């Protein structure tokens, strides 16, 4: 898919960060970050993995005149060069499926569930900001509707997950809760938040959806194995 379609979604369809909903948001930096990556092989049979994390830090991209931010160059640098848990655990998970960093990068979309930020270090996103972006603007769900994944993985279990109770892209009556929003799995000596769901989309595809705890300070081998096995499972709707 042409990346320009995502830019058009932000700038012309949703008009972020210049619409009334954004005007009423308390984010400190109203510079919405576009997806880090939409891989060239994302739309192949083995692609279709949509990954999203918490809001970004700082200004990791180039600003367009509309004030949206293109962070694709920085996203690639982070994925290939950084060993922080968020990036290194994700690479290892994906490499269990695609065998190399290069192939992994080309089979995925990587994004953030909230597009603006108040964060330079630890996450300081307010519930009001998250609500404006997720519930009111529905940016993350508009992205998913455009990109039509088969697997959705959010590293956001600790971030206002009650805002994800409703799935506006799901057909009525099709959501299956395989675990509830408070469920946790054993991961090394710790507990890992694990909210597992599946549904039929409004465009008639079956989608698995996992909201999971952030990888930081989790036992790497256990974390990687748990998520790898989830990604390998056939869709369970």
pLDDT at 68: 96
For the chain, the maximum distance between any two Cα atoms, rounded to a whole number of angstroms, is: 48
pTM over 0.85? The answer is yes
The terminus-to-terminus CA distance of the chain in angstroms comes to 26
Q: What pLDDT, on a 0 to 100 scale, did the predictor assign at position 236? A: 61
Q: What is the pLDDT of residue 237?
A: 52
Which pLDDT score is estimated for 228?
98
Provide the 10 A C-beta neighbour count for residue 183: 15
Low-confidence residues of the chain, pLDDT below 70? 121, 236-237
* pLDDT value at residue 58: 84
What per-residue confidence (pLDDT) applies to 209? Answer: 98
3-class DSSP state for residue 95?
Answer: helix
- Structural domains in the chain, sorted by start: 4-232 (3.40.470)
b/e per residue 41-57 (b: at least 16 CB within 10 A): bbeeeebbbbbbbbbbe
The predicted-structure confidence for 52-111, as pLDDT tens digits, reads as follows 999 888 889 999 999 999 999 999 999 999 999 999 999 999 999 998 999 999 999 999
Q: Report which secondary-structure segment, H or E, holds 50.
A: strand 49-53
């Amino acid at each position: 898919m042409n990346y320009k379609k995502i830019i058009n979604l932000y700038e012309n369809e949703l008009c972020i960060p210049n619409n009334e909903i954004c005007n009423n948001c308390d984010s400190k930096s109203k510079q919405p970050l576009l997806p880090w990556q939409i891989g060239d092989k994302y739309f192949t049979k083995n692609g279709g993995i949509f990954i999203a994390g918490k809001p970004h830090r700082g200004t990791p991209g180039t600003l367009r005149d509309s004030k949206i931010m293109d962070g694709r160059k920085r996203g690639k640098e982070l994925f290939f060069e950084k060993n922080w848990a968020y990036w290194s655990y994700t690479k290892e998970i994906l490499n269990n499926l695609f065998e190399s960093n290069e192939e992994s990068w080309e089979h995925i979309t990587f994004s953030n569930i909230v597009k603006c930020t108040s964060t330079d270090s630890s996450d300081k996103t307010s519930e009001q900001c998250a609500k404006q972006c997720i519930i009111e603007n529905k940016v993350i769900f508009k992205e998913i509707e455009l990109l039509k994944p088969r697997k959705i993985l959010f590293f956001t279990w600790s971030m206002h997950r009650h805002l994800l109770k409703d799935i506006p892209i799901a057909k009525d009556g099709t959501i299956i809760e395989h675990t509830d929003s408070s469920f946790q799995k054993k991961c090394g000596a710790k507990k890992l938040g694990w909210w597992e769901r599946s549904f039929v989309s409004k465009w008639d595809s079956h989608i698995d959806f996992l909201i999971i705890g952030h990888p930081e300070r989790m036992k790497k081998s256990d974390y990687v194995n748990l998520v790898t096995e989830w990604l390998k499972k056939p869709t369970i709707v």
